[in-house]
Every structure is written in structure tokens, then in C-alpha cells.
Amino acid sequence: MSEKTFLVEIGTEELPPKALRSLAESFAANFTAELDNAGLAHGTVQWFAAPRRLALKVANLAEAQPDREIEKRGPAIAQAFDAEGKPSKAAEGWARGCGITVDQAERLTTDKGEWLLYRAHVKGESTEALLPNMVATSLAKLPIPKLMRWGASDVHFVRPVHTVTLLLGDKVIPATILGIQSDRVIRGHRFMGEPEFTIDNADQYPEILRERGKVIADYAERKAKIKADAEEAARKIGGNADLSESLLEEVASLVEWPVVLTAKFEEKFLAVPAEALVYTMKGDQKYFPVYANDGKLLPN
């Protein structure tokens, strides 16, 4: 059975930064559960999250469910027929549930007795047919405390949706997700990349988004870049950046293509208690304060 890479990207307006990571992780967990429940063999399910997108990339996804043999045991023969050999209501009801008539049933004989038996070979459904509902179900289960509705539709999601990319290998999986018809279109950075472009194959993600869209879709990579660049920038001005984990997470959820800059305020403002300055910088401005080696706040 052949395997392919599957990509789903939901392009949105700016997602809530403090919820971005949990949304992406839940999306991946939900979709993995859908794959497993459907019996679809797959490799790694990797999640991506940036301010205007949630995405999953599934490696080595099977093209169909495996075929399976099913057996359903019915009533015991003693209860399946009356004294004249006619099927009982219990036997007929069981047979209808199996999609057969009583006379089409097999018989199972064990040392404990004899029963009616239904046996069938069930062909696995194609992955293409299963994916749209699996994606929709995974999105519907996301932990979103407050949903939005936009336009004239009755579609609800955490933020308005603009694009839905569904690719199995190089093929678009046709579907309507959150009111949007699936395609192979991806949107880049608002100012630094191509506004919109197409992706030919799921394997090209996320590299094509970085190259053409100027978006680092990998959340962990984006966060690590911000941390490393901020540490280097602070070192160059003779200080140490206060890179608290919570602020790093939030800033990583606010930017698609991080570029670290240093700024300076007038030294006279150092007369204000450092706690007040830091509270404003971190809480309101989303800046990383810089401290001297002696622990004093720098005006940078």
C-alpha cells in the first residue's frame, strides 16, 4: 500500500497569541486520534502554528484503511427458530442489522452450543474520502472558549478563515472546511513575502512558506530564533536580556518572521522604579528588558 504526505493548513486572521500553541497542539492530538480511530497507518504528525495559520503535516499516510474481516454472532440456534423451524423475531432483527436474511447466515458451532453467524470481508475506505470529515471534526473539538462569526455565513471559529489547504501528496482533497473550499493556495507575510502563492506538493511545506512567504511556520524554531537573537543583541550592548518563558511564548505567537532590534530610552526615566518600567515593557509593549551585569536595568 502506497504512502503519501498529507498537509492541512488553515489560514486565518490573527489568532489569539496566548492560545496559539494550545490550539495547534490540540489540533494535532485531535487529528492523530481521528487517524488512529479510522485505522489509518501513519508516521509523525507535526504541527505548525503562526499568527495567521494552524497547520499539520502527516508523514507516510496510508492511501486507505486496511481491509478487514468482521464476524457478528447472532442468537443461539435454540432461540433463532421456533418448533416449526421458522426464524424468530430475534433472529430476523439480528439479520436485518447485518444486512442479510436469516437463511444467508452461517452457523458457528462450539463445545458450548450453536449460534447464527454473519461473516463478511469489508474493504477499507480510501483516505481521500475520510480526510475532510476528520479535519472538520478535529477543528470542531479545539478548546475555543469564545467563537466568532463573520460575514453573512453561520460558520464559527476562533478567527475568520481565509484559506484552507488540503494536499495528499500533490493532490488537492476537495472539501469545504469552515465555509472555505479547499485549494493549494497559501498566504505569505503581509509585507515581507509573497502575498499569495500555490504549493505543488505537501512535502514542500514548511520550506516553501519560509522561502516565498517569509513565514517561519515552525513555532519552536521561531521561538528559538527570537531567544538566540535577543541574547546576542543584548550581549552587543553589554547587557543580559530578561527572556522570561511566558513572554518568549507570547512574542513567538505574535510574529511570523522575527527580527530583533534594540532601542533606547532617556536615562532620566531610570528614576522611575525598575519594577514599573519592566511591568510596562513586558506587559504592554512586549519588549525584553536588558540588565547590566550588576543586575541594574539598562535604558536599552
User: For 201-260, what is each residue's pLDDT tens digit?
Assistant: 999 999 999 999 999 999 999 999 999 999 999 999 999 999 999 999 999 999 999 999
Reported confidence tier of residue 59, pLDDT bands at 50, 70, 90: very high
Q: In what order do the strands lie in the sheet with 113-122?
A: 68-76, 113-122, 106-110
What pLDDT does 62 receive? Answer: 97
**Phi, psi (degrees; rounded to nearest 5) at 253:** -90, -5
What pLDDT does 153 receive? Answer: 87
What pLDDT does 249 receive? Answer: 97
What pLDDT does 224 receive? Answer: 98
109 or 137, higher pLDDT: 137
Q: What is the pLDDT of residues 14-48, one digit of tens each?
A: 999 999 999 999 999 999 999 999 999 999 999 99
Domains and CATH numbers, the chain: 3-63+126-213 (3.30.70.260), 68-122 (no CATH), 219-291 (no CATH)
Q: Are 133 and 173 in contact (CB under 8 A)?
A: no
Q: What percent of the chain has a predicted confidence (pLDDT) above 90?
A: 90
pTM of the entire predicted model: 0.87
Cα separations in angstroms, 245 against 54, 132, 219, 220, 242: 22, 36, 14, 12, 9
pLDDT at 124 over 80: yes
pLDDT at 1 over 80: no
Q: What percent of the chain has a predicted confidence (pLDDT) above 70?
A: 100
- What's the rounded mean pLDDT across residues 108-122? 90
Average pLDDT over all residues of the chain: 95
pLDDT at 136 over 90: yes
Q: What is the pLDDT of residues 148-179, one digit of tens each?
A: 999 888 999 999 999 999 999 999 999 999 99
